[in-house]
Amino acid sequence: MNDERKACFVVMGFGEKTAYTRDHKPRTLDLDATYETIIKPAVEDAGLRCVRADQMLNSGMIDTRMYEMLLRADLVVADISTGNVNAVYELGVRHALRPHSTIIMLEDQAAFHFDLSHISTFTYHHLGSDIGAREAAKKKAALQALIETIMAQPARDSPVYEFLKGLKEPMMSDADYQTMLTVMEERGDGLQQLIARGKAAKKEGDQAAAAAAFGKALSLMAGTAGGEAPVGQSERDFVTQQLALTTYKSKQPDEKTALERGLEILEGLSPDTSNDTETLGIAGAIRKRLWKLEGDPVHLDKAIEYYGRGFNVKRDYYNGENYASCLVMRAEILADEDEALYDRMTAKKVRGEIVDLLARELAAADVEDRGDRVWMHATMANCLFALSRDGEAEVHETAFRELAGATGWMLETYEAGKEEVLRQRAG
């Protein structure tokens, strides 16, 4: 049976992407959170079919079908918060093809170096790793209302048609468009389904199943599974990172092989020169585990290099805590007492900076909406234990345990970190 609802085509990246604020500070935005908590529910509750651009990867004719969707979609929502060149280009094509029914979305702290002052934009606030529940609910309702208004009374929103008054809108037949919509919506093993499957398995602690799903997704994106069209490198980063992470955590067929395979996968993102904090955090974790497994100091030096860059580039607390821990590990094996002292003092300084940073963030009014709040408390606890501020550490440990609940892998991860901190402090 044909679905006669009008269609909304969503133009945006997916996964976690680096964006820059107006004062040039880098931050990470989870674009999936934007899509899943604001855009998709708003579109569907407004009565439209919702199709995201990355769902076109199974078509084998991504350029043709992309242009078809940009022309024929009853509504286009374009999130350009990260300055993704594909999304911005596709927005420009839409403006050239249709005089109305296009919504531009922009995260309220995002820097965008193109003059949008003459174009109306829908803004929202992203916490970085997630979107707060209250913000998501508020903006979902506002976006739904905007969509309903636009669909009821289309108004010119394309600057092309605004300035070129005599321009005529192109036309195209309906048959192929309807077939394409159905295929994009109903395909069973498309990219989004594979990524969702990987995320779910990872959350449940089934790292092998997660790695299998992310591996299939990466093959699909690279054009090696069934001849699908390739996509840009920026679109592959998230899946590559998740594949490397879940591969090494799976410990299959054995821990050493899994770690080496994870490092091999991550080489596609050039960790030796990258400034991406997620890439650096995963590379550091793999090297740290190889050091513990093999005792080769080259691995420990590399872990320190990766974690240190990840902390210094963005003051990322995950990279920072591990940077400090690895510095103390190296201090324990250095023959030169001055070098060992330097590493210990650097570790102490980094932990102090993390405590100050997280204290400010935990005191923010919107902290309860942050999806990473559980790890903020875990990191605070371990840094404070390392600094022998046990009373303060126990407060954050209690907060972590309350937020983590009975989730086994989260508790295990925290306990392993705490055990290492207390061992270092005792030494």
Cα–Cα nearest to 49, from 8, 101, 4 = 8
Q: What is the pTM of this model?
A: 0.69
Residues sharing a CB contact under 8 Å with residue 287, sequence separation 6 or more, in sequence order: 263, 299, 300, 302, 303, 306
Last residue of a domain, one of 133, 161, 186: 186
Query: Mean of the pLDDT values across residues 272-297?
Result: 95
- What's 243's domain CATH number? 1.25.40.10
Domain of residue 116, residue span = 7-186
Residue scoring higher pLDDT (176 or 37): 37
Any domain includes 1? no
Query: Mean of the pLDDT values across residues 378-407?
Result: 93
With bands split at pLDDT 50, 70 and 90, how would you rate the model's confidence at 21? confident
The pLDDT value recorded for residue 2 is 62
Any domain includes 2? no
Same domain for 358 and 321? yes
Query: Mean of the pLDDT values across residues 260-279?
Result: 95
Counts for the chain of helices (H) and strands (E), in that order: 18, 7
Same domain for 262 and 218? yes
Over the chain, what is the mean pLDDT? Answer: 86
Residue scoring higher pLDDT (294 or 31): 294
Query: Mean of the pLDDT values across residues 152-161?
Result: 91
The pLDDT value recorded for residue 170 is 80
The pLDDT value recorded for residue 61 is 41
- What's 42's domain CATH number? 3.40.50
Query: Mean of the pLDDT values across residues 213-242?
Result: 70
State whether residue 46 is helix, strand or coil.
coil
Same domain for 181 and 195? no
Last residue of a domain, one of 152, 169, 186: 186
Query: Mean of the pLDDT values across residues 122-133?
Result: 83
Any domain includes 331? yes
Same domain for 215 and 318? yes
Residue 380 scores a pLDDT above 50 = yes
Same domain for 380 and 346? yes
Same domain for 235 and 180? no
Same domain for 28 and 93? yes
Using only C-alpha atoms, the chain has a radius of gyration, in whole angstroms, of: 24
C-alpha to C-alpha distances, 124 to 89, 108, 120, 395, 421, nearest whole angstrom = 22, 6, 13, 33, 39
Q: Which residue has the tokens 């922009």?
A: 106
Q: What's the total number of domains in the chain?
A: 2
Any domain includes 15? yes
> Residue 12 is encoded by which pair of tokens?
């945006």
